[in-house]
Amino acid sequence: MNPLAAVGRTFLAFLSSTGRMALFAGLGIFHCIAPPWYTRLVLRQILDIGYFSLPVVGLTAVFTGMVLALQSYTGFSRFEAEGAIASIVVLSVTRELGPVLAGLMVAGRVGAAIAAEIGTMRVTEQIDALTTLSTNPFKYLVAPRLIAATVTLPILVLVADIIGVMGGYVVSIHKLGFNPTSYLANTFDILEVMDVVSGLVKAAVFGFLIALMGCYHGYHSKRGAQGVGQATTYAVVSGSILILTFNYIVTEMFFSR
Amino acid sequence: MSTGTPKIHVRGLKKSFGNKVVLDGIDFDVAAGESLVIIGGSGSGKSVTIKCILGLIQPDAGTIEIDGTNAAGLSGRERDTLMSKFGMLFQGGALFDSMTVWENVAFRLIQERSHSRRQAREAAIETLGMVGLGGDVADLLPSEVSGGMMKRVALARAIAARPEIIFFDEPTTGLDPITADVINDLIVSVREKLGLTTVSITHDMASVRKIADRVAMIHHGQFIWTGSVDAIDNSGSDYVDQFIHGRAEGPIQMDIRKP
């Protein structure tokens, strides 16, 4: 077997699936913009994606903030730079850790659920049934999830930011003995609007990508339980990889000089 | 039976999946009010034929006309208008498992926004009555009803918006003989009551004899015999004889390796 041919085939398959995903995304965006909209379905998805993800995102954020404060202290105390801990916590959480960790947690919870639900609908012919009932599956299944995830993730990340910073505050005050007033003053002095905005933009992009991967892999799920299981795995893995990739791209857009 | 423009007119329908030719130039017409049943072995292309007509699968070649209108290439409102003529009963029911029975039945009425939810519920309960189900099942989920009831709910969903053509994909598969006969009777009664044109695919010969006006047998992607249901026992085709008597020996050979 020619190894170059194998590399070429893999590369062509990658290009082909990237093209299919791009077309799927384009069609999804078109149906998000063009009426009619299924408001009831969007609201239900906002509840599923946003409200029910709050506990897992909140827990992730609080422990991340707490660990960040502890680790920064152990490192920075060697250089007598403990005063920078508040800045480290708030900037890390709002710019990076809040959106990325919330995105990864939601990709695991919501991306998998979307892929499993749509995949099951595919293998049980419910998607074909939608078409025969004069309902466009893209408009009914894909668009509400894309809209809901894109709108909801920034709100989730905003909550995660607040909880994460509070986690760092609690550890800094109660365990490390910082002065609460000066800790909060340091936090708000260093924080700029752009730090929060960049995190929220990232969150919106991540939300869109998570829903897109869930819908895409579910929609193209192969027959049987194994097909749906595979779609779920692909949704989480590709969603997570895209989150990390686009995290760099958006960071580059906001903070490169 | 009408002698004018056929309700469904199919010519030269072809479809392949990779190297496997599933439909190899299918031609047939279905007149308004007629019931055509397509029979054939597993994997012979029965489901693909009706999915091509419904637009769920894109054919490689051929023309499909509904009431004289070419179905290929329609989009937007024209496509919706065409689809509103169709109803489909899927093999497994394909009921939406996150919705109650009445929401499934009234799905099209709600989506088309022609009815309020209250009116749609009333219409759903009336349609459930046509398939022998009471209003007490309206608020159940599909997972809470039996296989036979699920088929009846799926039939109610297919007829709820009063389509002109209904496709039945193996309507009695997986049902006990008595429940299967109940479903066959229901198909005949709703067809007569609503004046429907129907295209069914099935392996069940009892079902064929009960619901068909005309029977077509598909083999290797082509119709090899078409005739009246009364002529099926004297078709003169060894293929049809083998199929209707369920014999392993004959011209139709399954791809099974002998031990």
Residues of B with Cβ-Cβ distance to A129 under 8 angstroms: 88, 90, 94-96
Q: Could you tell me if residue B257 is inside a domain?
A: no
Angle between helix axes A193-219 and A3-33 (nearest 10 degrees) is 110
Q: Could you tell me if residue A39 is inside a domain?
A: no
CA-based nearest residue in chain B for residue A123:
B94
Could B108 and A135 be called an inter-chain contact, meaning their C-beta atoms sit closer than 8 Å?
Answer: yes
How many structural domains does chain A have?
A: 1
Contact between B249 and B238 (Cβ < 8 Å): no
Last residue of a domain, one of B139, B162, B185: B162
Phi/psi of residue B189, each to 5°?
A: -70, -40
Same domain, B201 and B173: yes
Q: Could you tell me if residue B54 is inside a domain?
A: yes
- pLDDT recorded at residue B4: 76
Same domain, B177 and B245: yes
Residues B191, A176: Cα–Cα separation, whole Å: 79
Specify the 3-state DSSP secondary structure of B13: strand
Dmax over CA atoms of chain A, in Å, equals 70
Q: Could you tell me if residue B103 is inside a domain?
A: yes
Q: Going residue by residue through chain B, which has 259 residues, state the pLDDT in tens, using 9 for 90 and above.
A: 445 789 999 999 999 998 899 999 999 999 999 999 999 888 888 999 999 999 889 999 999 999 988 887 777 778 888 888 999 999 888 999 999 999 999 999 888 777 788 999 999 999 999 888 988 999 999 999 998 899 999 999 999 988 999 999 999 888 888 888 989 999 999 999 999 999 999 988 999 999 999 999 999 889 999 999 999 888 888 888 888 888 887 787 766 665 5
- pLDDT recorded at residue B256: 61
Could A131 and B91 be called an inter-chain contact, meaning their C-beta atoms sit closer than 8 Å?
Answer: no
Query: For testing the chain A interface, which of B56, B114, B173 should be mutated: the one with the most A CBs within 10 Å?
Result: B56
Same domain, B102 and B81: no
Residues of A with Cβ-Cβ distance to B159 under 8 angstroms: none
Could B87 and A124 be called an inter-chain contact, meaning their C-beta atoms sit closer than 8 Å?
Answer: no
Same domain, B111 and B19: no
Look up the pTM and report it.
0.88
Q: State the residue range of the domain holding A184.
A: 44-255
Same domain, B99 and B19: no
Nearest Cβ partner for B80 among A124, A129, A134 = A134
Residues B150, B141: Cα–Cα separation, whole Å: 10
Same domain, B65 and B183: yes
For residues A203-242, one letter each, b for 16 or more C-beta atoms within 10 angstroms of the residue's C-beta and e for the rest, the string is bbbbbbbbbbbbbbbbbbbeeeeebbebbbebbbebbbeb
Query: For testing the chain B interface, which of A31, A126, A134, A219 should be mutated: the one with the most B CBs within 10 Å?
Result: A134
How many structural domains does chain B have?
A: 2
CA distance to partner chain A, nearest, from residue B80 (Å):
6
pLDDT per position as a tens digit, A147-158: 999 999 999 999
Q: Could you tell me if residue B259 is inside a domain?
A: no
Same domain, B184 and B240: yes
Report the percent of chain A where pLDDT is more than 70.
100
Same domain, B146 and B208: no
Q: State the residue range of the domain holding B221.
A: 1-85+166-252
Q: Could you tell me if residue B76 is inside a domain?
A: yes
pLDDT per position as a tens digit, A18-69: 999 999 999 999 999 998 889 999 999 999 999 999 999 999 999 999 999 9
Same domain, B5 and B104: no
- pLDDT recorded at residue A160: 96
End-to-end CA distance of chain B: 51
CA-based nearest residue in chain A for residue B94:
A126
Same domain, B105 and B171: no
Residues of chain A with pLDDT below 70 are 257
Same domain, B126 and B196: no
- pLDDT recorded at residue B2: 47
CA-based nearest residue in chain B for residue A126:
B94
Of the candidates B191, B200, B179, which has an alpha carbon nearest to the alpha carbon of residue B130? B191
Sign of CA dihedral B132, B150, B97, A42: negative
Q: Could you tell me if residue B258 is inside a domain?
A: no
Q: Could you tell me if residue B220 is inside a domain?
A: yes
* Secondary structure string (H, E, C) spanning B85-144: CEEEECCCCCCCCCCCHHHHHCHHHHHCCCCCHHHHHHHHHHHHHHCCCCHHHCCCCHHH
- pLDDT recorded at residue A95: 94
Q: Could you tell me if residue B230 is inside a domain?
A: yes
Interface of B with A in 173-212 (CB under 8 A): none
CA distance to partner chain B, nearest, from residue A255 (Å):
44
Chain A interface includes B157 (CB < 8 A) = yes
Cβ partners under 8 Å of residue B187, min gap 6: B155, B168, B171, B198, B200, B210, B211
Same domain, B143 and B176: no
- pLDDT recorded at residue B3: 56
